[in-house]
Amino acid sequence: MPGIHTHLSATAICAVLLIAGCSHQKQASAPPPKPTPAQQAELAATGKLIFDQTPQHAAAYVGSQLSCGDCHIDSGKAAYAAPLINIANVFPAYTKRAGRVISLQERINECFVRSENGKPLPDDSPEMAAMMAYLASLSSGVKGQAYPERGFVKVPDLKGNPARGERVYATQCAVCHGVNGEGVPPVLPPVWGPGSYNDGAGMDHVEKMAAFLVHNMPQNHPGTLKPQDAFDVSAFIDSKPRPTMNPKYKGL
């Protein structure tokens, strides 16, 4: 029965083509191969470089003269300086600002568009891959939920007086951050003016900055600033000009 035979082989050929088509499609949509431990370590090292010298190594996405490590002190490892230890295990998480659950990539980009006064990193950019690898390296081997020294220290609910704060600034801060808040970047970061974070940043809130300062500044005598002085100097810095956040990125 040659007729049937021909029909069968045509089906067989079709099946082969279908399988080939299928496997081809599978290859195209398969995730990229997992990086080896050595590649992952190299990526994390690049991420640390971006973290420590952000304007130099992620220039296209940064508008300020600040590095991540200027606020997340000691490359994100210092207690009560918003450390990022274990953060890769904490996100995705709900945040008050976003009002929804956000990914770690989105949280990183919040700091890029606010604290760095820049632009968000695309999720598939080499810079984001490096930053994620670095944060993963800070979280490996850390168990549990939030890192106990996460965020900043608790401060009493005080009100800052900018006039008093001006005196605190002149005597305890200006030597490093400059009389006009300009600092000496990249070594000494600016605290106001065009090179600083924008008005959408966490540090732009008087209470948040006071909590950062009480534990971390003055950098040469940390732990000596009284809470009232911290609120006063924060109110003074808050009264100074700084960039406005790009409204295009308000969703972050």
3-state SS assignment for residue 181: coil
Query: Measured from the CB of residue 229, what is the shortest distance to ligand HEC in angstroms?
Result: 7
SS (H, E, C) 92-128: CEEECCCCEEECHHHHHHHHHHCCCCCCCCCCCCHHH
Q: Which residues contact 135 (CB under 8 A, 6 or more apart)?
A: 47, 76, 84, 87, 88, 104, 108
Query: Measured from the CB of residue 22, what is the shortest distance to ligand HEC in angstroms?
Result: 40
Closer CB to ligand HEC, residue 160 or residue 189?
189
Q: Contact, 81 vs 152, CB < 8 A? A: yes
Closer CB to ligand HEC, residue 21 or residue 223?
223
Q: Is 155 left (phi over 0), alpha (psi -120 to 50) or beta?
A: beta
Structure tokens at 248: 């295009």
The burial class, CB within 10 Å (0-12 / 13-18 / 19+), for 164 is: middle
Binding site for ligand HEC (CB under 6 A): 54, 66, 68, 70-73, 82, 84, 87, 107-108, 111-112, 115-116, 131, 150-152, 172-173, 175-177, 188-191, 197, 201-203, 208-209, 213, 217-220, 225, 233
Sign of dihedral through CA atoms 204, 206, 208, 212? Answer: positive
Query: Measured from the CB of residue 235, what is the shortest distance to ligand HEC in angstroms?
Result: 11
Query: Measured from the CB of residue 247, what is the shortest distance to ligand HEC in angstroms?
Result: 19
Closer CB to ligand HEC, residue 41 or residue 175?
175
Query: Measured from the CB of residue 82, what is the shortest distance to ligand HEC in angstroms?
Result: 4
Closer CB to ligand HEC, residue 21 or residue 122?
122
Closer CB to ligand HEC, residue 33 or residue 47?
47
What is the number of other CB atoms lying within 10 angstroms of the CB of residue 7?
11
CA distance from start to end of the chain: 70
Closer CB to ligand HEC, residue 22 or residue 94?
94
Query: Measured from the CB of residue 171, what is the shortest distance to ligand HEC in angstroms?
Result: 9
